[in-house]
Amino acid sequence: SQQGEEDPQALSIQEGENATMNCSYKTSINNLQWYRQNSGRGLVHLILIRSNEREKHSGRLRVTLDTSKKSSSLLITASRAADTASYFCATQAAGNKLTFGGGTRVLVKP
Amino acid sequence: DAGVIQSPRHEVTEMGQEVTLRCKPISGHDYLFWYRQTMMRGLELLIYFNNNVPIDDSGMPEDRFSAKMPNASFSTLKIQPSEPRDSAVYFCASRSDGNNQPQHFGDGTRLSIL
């Protein structure tokens, strides 16, 4: 079963706009990670946020984590056509396994 | 670093044939993971290894699937006999030891069983 569930399932925006996607999960975690997948390629790690962190930034990416609500958000600011991809959240509880959500498909129109 | 390398990138074969997927992890990584991705089920973990030893194979669908890691730089995933429902993209990922480490994925093998 999937631990993380992304919302929305699909998102279409204009270049330059911000894109926000959310992830909810069910059990306690050690960390939550976001990955990007371009069509026909493998997943690429974007950012990892630990359970004791609330916010993290990397370039145009901003991730928040609310462990009380068991939710996370990924914000991509000033989107570019190259940001068109699927974005997945993944949770790591105790142990070494990641559990992935179903992903959000993002289309950035030029 | 070359990243995780998977071969072949595409495989088309007939039902009943044996299929072997290959993976070379990033040098120095202690963990190796095999995943399967389909539209219906998303990304599923099949099995993972630590220091070449299988740790958790609870995601392997059935006995037709087997995985080995004979050394730190090579792993295989075999399906014998293959069935059309095995059609999917299979990913290998590796990770270094330590807490809070990300996984690094290969570009996958797109498998089609006719």
With pLDDT > 90 as the criterion, what percentage of chain B qualifies? 93
DSSP states of B39-51: TTTEEEEEEEEET
The helix (run of H) or strand (run of E) holding residue A92 is strand A85-92
B50 interface with A at CB cutoff 8 Å: yes
Q: What angle do CA B69, B65, B99 make, to 5 degrees?
A: 50
**A35 vs A77: CA distance, rounded Å:** 16
In 3D space, the residue among B71, B78, B84, B79 whose CA is nearest the CA of residue B112 turns out to be: B84
Inter-chain residue contact A2 with B91, CB threshold 8 Å:
no
pLDDT at B25 over 70: yes
Mean residue pLDDT across chain B: 96
Inter-chain residue contact B99 with A30, CB threshold 8 Å:
yes
Q: In this predicted structure, what is the pLDDT of residue B98? A: 84
B28-41 pLDDT, tens digit per residue, is 999 999 999 999 99
Q: In this predicted structure, what is the pLDDT of residue A2? A: 44
Q: In this predicted structure, what is the pLDDT of residue A3? A: 56
- Out of A43, A50, A96, the one facing B105 most closely (by C-beta) is A43
B98 interface with A at CB cutoff 8 Å: no
Q: In this predicted structure, what is the pLDDT of residue B74? A: 97
Per-residue pLDDT tens, chain A, 110 aa: give them. 445 688 899 999 999 999 999 999 999 999 999 999 999 999 999 999 999 999 999 999 999 999 999 999 999 999 999 999 999 999 998 888 999 999 999 999 99
Cis peptide bond upstream of A110, omega within 30: no
**B106 vs A20: CA distance, rounded Å:** 27
Q: Which residue out of A96, A97, A99 would a mutagenesis test of the B interface target, given it has the greatest number of B Cβ atoms within 10 Å?
A: A96
Smallest CA–CA distance, residue A30 to chain B, in Å, is: 8
Q: In this predicted structure, what is the pLDDT of residue A1? A: 40
In sequence order, which residues have a C-beta less than 8 Å from that of residue B73 and are 6 or more positions away? B24, B25, B27
B31 interface with A at CB cutoff 8 Å: yes
- In this structure, are residues B93 and B33 in contact, taking their beta carbons and an 8 Å threshold? yes
| DSSP SS3 for B61 | coil
Q: In this predicted structure, what is the pLDDT of residue B1? A: 62
B77 interface with A at CB cutoff 8 Å: no
| DSSP SS3 for A94 | coil
B55-110 pLDDT, tens digit per residue, is 999 999 889 999 999 999 999 999 999 999 999 999 999 999 988 899 999 999 99
Q: In this predicted structure, what is the pLDDT of residue A94? A: 82
**A15 vs A80: CA distance, rounded Å:** 5
**A85 vs A39: CA distance, rounded Å:** 7
